[in-house]
Amino acid sequence: MRVLVIGGGGREHALVWKLSQSPLLTKLYCAPGNAGIAEVAEIVAIAADDIKALVAFARAEKIDLIVPGPELPLTLGIADALEGHGLRCFGPVAAAARLEGSKAFTKDLLSECGIPTGFYSTFTDPDEARRYVREVGAPIVVKADGLAAGKGVLLCSTVEEAEDAIDRTMRSRVFGSAGDKVVVEEFLEGEEASFMAVTDGQTVLPLASSQDHKRALDGDRGPNTGGMGAYSPAPVVTAELHEQVMAEVMRPVVTGLADRGIRYRGVLYAGLMVTREGPKVLEFNVRFGDPECQAILMRLRGDLLEMMNATVDGELSTLSPQWDERPAVCVVMAAEGYPGNYEKGRVISGLEDLREWSDGVVFHAGTATDEGRVVTAGGRVLGVTAIGSDIDAAVGEAYRAVDAIRWEGVHFRRDIAHRALRQR
């Protein structure tokens, strides 16, 4: 099969790495890719949001399966455009991708389907949003309705912070048009978990559990990021909780969309808060989490391409994926200043010493090549991912590799998987 992966981050490197192992594969492309992906797949110089050019390439090269990695091409309707030309896409159509593209749409769907989530209200008028915050009090969460590169969720401990968040989102428009509408919702307390499944619109097949670390600094301090690390499995997702999430969240949302004439095909990602009352939905994503994808795929036994084909063809009921019992840990190495402003073009050293690393993979996220050298080209630069006999071994192996890699201003957390280590 000829496969095109869309995107250029750590998630896409992990997807390319796993897909390259499939006996079904004959040719693998990635657009636009990065320095690490270039070692596994043929790079195509097309941006992930250039839908017209991506469709034209897929048609010209007779691509058998297109795998969009990030959310933007999915919310822009790439699955619809591809299917309109008879091409197969592993990912939801635009109507289903609204689960990630619109926080208000998702909260309304959850409410209508009786899926547990925090109380909320939606606003297009900042003055009304401010009045609501003063009415319900704090702590409270303010969310930009649209896509905001993972930065549009603002946790506010006081009413004043919430009012400022509303003003910055809706008046100063720090998130652009994503802040035309905001969702103000309950601040849920508990432990977060990432729960992903693949679905063909009927069968919902759960993937291994995982947990990521959003804050930039050790001890879960500092600003929110796209993710500073992840590990799988997540001890908080017990067998009992797993069944509860499947019964109360994953299956109902797929059914709820189907009842509205929307068939969901692809990865469905629920960001959960495990509260004293049970699991509640914080958000939905319509693609693999990043960096959770790196840890999960490290543990997947079997053929990812076969799973994707079954999803697109409506045959998931025939599959039962197997998982390596050993845990995996991904440590994100970021650029100095991330998630704020950062410089690019800093030379990375030490990668050559890990080419034969038997217990892990260095997934590239924001990298490029410059005169034969690998340099930084993004905020999150590398996802150093290891597997070990237990969580201690996986953490130790990941950080041994991290310590072998260097560039000026490198930043990473030293406490990835601390919850699993504490629970053990």
Domains 125-180 and 191-323 share a fold: no
pLDDT at 149 (0 to 100): 75
pLDDT at 24 (0 to 100): 98
Mean pLDDT of 377-394: 97
pLDDT at 223 (0 to 100): 87
For the cut 80, the answer to whether the pLDDT of residue 1 exceeds it is yes
Q: What fold does the segment set 191-323 form as a domain?
A: D-amino Acid Aminotransferase; Chain A, domain 1 (3.30.470)
Q: What pLDDT digit, counting tens, does each position of 161-198 carry?
A: 999 999 999 999 999 999 999 999 999 999 999 999 99
333: β partners: 382
Please report, as a single letter, which amino acid is at residue 87: L
CA distance 123 to 246: 31
Q: Which CATH number is 2-91's, of 3.30.470.20, 3.40.47.10, 3.40.50.20, 3.40.50.150?
A: 3.40.50.20
For the cut 80, the answer to whether the pLDDT of residue 199 exceeds it is yes
Percent pLDDT > 70 in the chain is 100
Q: What pLDDT digit, counting tens, does each position of 325-370 carry?
A: 999 999 999 999 999 999 999 999 999 999 999 999 999 999 999 9
Percent pLDDT > 90 in the chain is 96
CA distance 290 to 378: 14
SS3 annotation, the chain: CEEEEEECCHHHHHHHHHHCCCCCCCEEEEEECCCCHHHCCEECCCCCCCHHHHHHHHHHCCCCEEEECCHHHHHCCHHHHHHHCCCCECCCCHHHHHHHHCHHHHHHHHHHHCCCECCEEEECCHHHHHHHHHHHCCCEEEEECCCCCCCCEEEECCHHHHHHHHHHHHHCCCCHHHHCCEEEEECCCCEEEEEEEEECCCCEEECCCEEECCEEECCCEEEECCCCEEEECCCCCCHHHHHHHHHHHHHHHHHHHHHCCCCCCEEEEEEEEEECCEEEEEEEECCCCCCHHHHHHHHEECCHHHHHHHHHCCCHHHCCCEECCCCEEEEEEECCCCCCCCCCCCECECHHHHCCCCCEEEEECCEEEECCEEEECCCEEEEEEEECCCHHHHHHHHHHHHCCCECCCCECCCCCCHHHHHHC
Torsion of the alpha carbons at 390, 197, 381 and 232, rounded to the nearest 10:
-10
Q: What pLDDT digit, counting tens, does each position of 50-94 carry?
A: 999 999 999 999 999 999 999 999 999 999 999 999 999 999 999
pLDDT at 224 (0 to 100): 84
Domain ranges of the chain: 2-91, 125-180, 191-323, 328-423
Nearest to 234 by CA among 14, 417, 11, 393: 417
- Reply yes or no: is the peptide bond before residue 68 cis, omega within 30 of 0: no
Q: Is the pTM of this model over 0.85?
A: yes
For the cut 80, the answer to whether the pLDDT of residue 128 exceeds it is yes
pLDDT at 148 (0 to 100): 86
* Average pLDDT value over all residues in the chain: 96
CA distance 228 to 291: 8
pLDDT at 28 (0 to 100): 98
CA distance 363 to 358: 14
* Dihedrals phi, psi of 330, to nearest 5 degrees: -120, 125
Kindly give, in sequence order, each residue whose CB lies less than 8 Å from that of residue 422, ignoring residues fewer than 6 positions away: none
CA distance 50 to 260: 29
Q: Looking at the domain that runs over 125-180, which CATH code has it been given?
A: 3.30.1490.20
Whether 154 contacts 183, CB under 8 Å: no
Q: Which CATH architecture has domain 328-423?
A: Alpha-Beta Complex (3.90)
348-366 CB burial, b ≥16 within 10 A, e <16: beebeeeeeeebbbbbbbb
Whether 184 contacts 129, CB under 8 Å: yes
Structure tokens that stand for 208 in this block: 């291994």
Q: What pLDDT digit, counting tens, does each position of 245-255 carry?
A: 999 999 999 99
Structure tokens that stand for 32 in this block: 């636009």
CA distance 73 to 397: 35
Structure tokens that stand for 95 in this block: 């109507």
CA distance 139 to 207: 33
CA atoms within 13 Å, Cβ hemisphere of 56: 8
Q: What pLDDT digit, counting tens, does each position of 267-325 carry?
A: 999 999 999 999 999 999 999 999 999 999 999 999 999 999 999 999 999 999 999 99
For the cut 90, the answer to whether the pLDDT of residue 423 exceeds it is no
Nearest to 96 by CA among 106, 86, 82: 106
